[in-house]
Amino acid sequence: MMRRKEFVGSSQVPEEIEREILSRLPVKSLCRFKTVKKSWRNLIGDSTFIAMHLNCYGSNTDGFLVHGCYSYGIQLSRSLSDQPRKFIIGSINGLVCLSDKIRCFLKKDDRLRIHICNPSTREVMELPQCYHDHNDFLSGIGFGFCRKFNDYKVVKVSYRRESSSSEAQVQVYSSNMNSWKMIKIENPSLWALLPLYRGSGCFNGAFHWQGLKKSSSKKIIKTVVSFQFDEEVFREINLPNDPDFQGDVQFFITEYRDFFSSLVVKQGPNVNVYKVWVMKEYGVPDSWIKQLTIEVPISQDQVMFRSIRDIKYKDILFQDSHHRFIWYDTKSKQMEGQSQLLLQWYCTRCKESLVSLSQKR
């Protein structure tokens, strides 16, 4: 009898090994496992385990694509689908920020609806209303994570249309406080922010926009503007001093092989040329290097590619002018495959995660 008891006891999996195994499973499985036993339910909802899962599982998968308020082709929330338009602001740690308005004038009684959702758990949270005055111009919205305080933040930049001053009105939402606050910035009229229709703005604890500024000679110069969430300050990232970025050229902010990157697009009579520039040391302008050049013949079905993502360091994902996805193999230098799924412009890649904002409220 004693031997039988000893055998049964030795067959139990130690808690640390159990935790390690669960941290490497997809979110959908973990949500089902909450009903298996109480200890698993408590573990899966624990903030320490959630961070562990994000690091173990989320860092080792490509994630999935989110467009509008849909992921995996499944509707997230009826309240979101009731809105006529949804703009994806950004994605970080499995959370996606959406807004019903970008780059527009806001009347005093207009409601700016901003949501943060987790497509993996289907959790959706609407942010409290932020202040805006009559005819404020909504210039930009950013979304990111403050590691210093484990805080998810949204920044909103607007300008007073009827004010003699061009000073920007900047408000920051904190998930820890579940409220907005006004902040003051230096050189408020230095940049004009451009909407981030394509690419990815979240990188290295900051959100990034394409920007324009005036030189001392009143010349308009392209630049990148970032908002650092830890310090709650704006900074400028200069683009490479290279002919690729001069003249009437399109560039998009993105991420390539874990580096902050810029995709430059030049249209020709027969081919479109795409040049990928990466910043080897974030924030250091001299570290920009040209990493990749892709030439794509123009055809009726492939008029203009719009975005870029690298998957498993091999393929690059483009989206053509018909909203279809096309893969580019960096080894064979060939376009491979074409998705029949038609998606809207506002699309981002998202990690699977258990991160929940409801625990902070």
- Are β-strands 70-71 and 179-183 bridged in parallel, bridged antiparallel, or unpaired? unpaired
> Which CATH number is 121's domain given?
2.120.10
Higher per-residue pLDDT: 295 or 118: 118
Per the structure, the count of domains in the chain is 2
Q: How confident is the model at residue 155 (pLDDT cuts 50, 70, 90)?
A: very high
Asked if the structure places residue 356 within a domain, the reply is no
Instruction: For residues 51 and 199, state if they share a domain.
Output: no
Instruction: For residues 122 and 29, state if they share a domain.
Output: no
Instruction: For residues 175 and 283, state if they share a domain.
Output: yes
pTM of the predicted protein model: 0.84
Report pLDDT digits (tens) over 224-277: 889 999 999 999 899 998 999 887 778 888 888 888 888 887 777 777 788 889
Instruction: For residues 286 and 301, state if they share a domain.
Output: yes
Higher per-residue pLDDT: 75 or 281: 281
Structural domain range at position 330: 61-350
Asked if the structure places residue 6 within a domain, the reply is no
Instruction: Decide if pLDDT at 196 tops 80.
Output: no
pLDDT at 171 (0 to 100)? 94
pLDDT at 12 (0 to 100)? 79
Helix pair 15-22, 47-56: axis angle to 10 deg: 60
Asked if the structure places residue 317 within a domain, the reply is yes
Instruction: For residues 36 and 66, state if they share a domain.
Output: no
254 CB burial (10 A radius; 0-12, 13-18, 19+): buried
Instruction: For residues 221 and 312, state if they share a domain.
Output: yes
Asked if the structure places residue 355 within a domain, the reply is no
- Are β-strands 206-214 and 192-194 bridged in parallel, bridged antiparallel, or unpaired? antiparallel
CA dist 139 and 126 (Å) reads 21
Higher per-residue pLDDT: 79 or 244: 244
User: Is the CB of residue 196 less than 8 Å from the CB of residue 253?
Assistant: yes
pLDDT at 42 (0 to 100)? 95
Instruction: For residues 45 and 191, state if they share a domain.
Output: no
Instruction: For residues 85 and 43, state if they share a domain.
Output: no
**What average pLDDT does the chain have?**
79
Q: How confident is the model at residue 193 (pLDDT cuts 50, 70, 90)?
A: confident
pLDDT at 319 (0 to 100)? 66
Instruction: Decide if pLDDT at 88 tops 70.
Output: yes
pLDDT at 80 (0 to 100)? 46
List, as one string, the DSSP characters of 217-253. TS-EEEEEEEEETTTTEEEEEPPPSSGGGSSS-EEEE
Neighbours of 134 (CB within 10 A): 13
Asked if the structure places residue 140 within a domain, the reply is yes
Instruction: For residues 283 and 136, state if they share a domain.
Output: yes
Asked if the structure places residue 361 within a domain, the reply is no
Q: List the single range of 74-83, 129-138, 348-357 with lowest mean pLDDT.
A: 74-83
Instruction: For residues 205 and 345, state if they share a domain.
Output: yes
Instruction: For residues 192 and 219, state if they share a domain.
Output: yes
Continuous segment of H or E residues that includes residue 273? strand 271-279
Residues with Cβ within 8 Å of 242's Cβ and at least 6 positions away in sequence, in order, are 277, 288, 290
Instruction: For residues 24 and 72, state if they share a domain.
Output: no
Asked if the structure places residue 209 within a domain, the reply is yes
CA atoms within 13 A on the CB side of 60: 9
Asked if the structure places residue 201 within a domain, the reply is yes
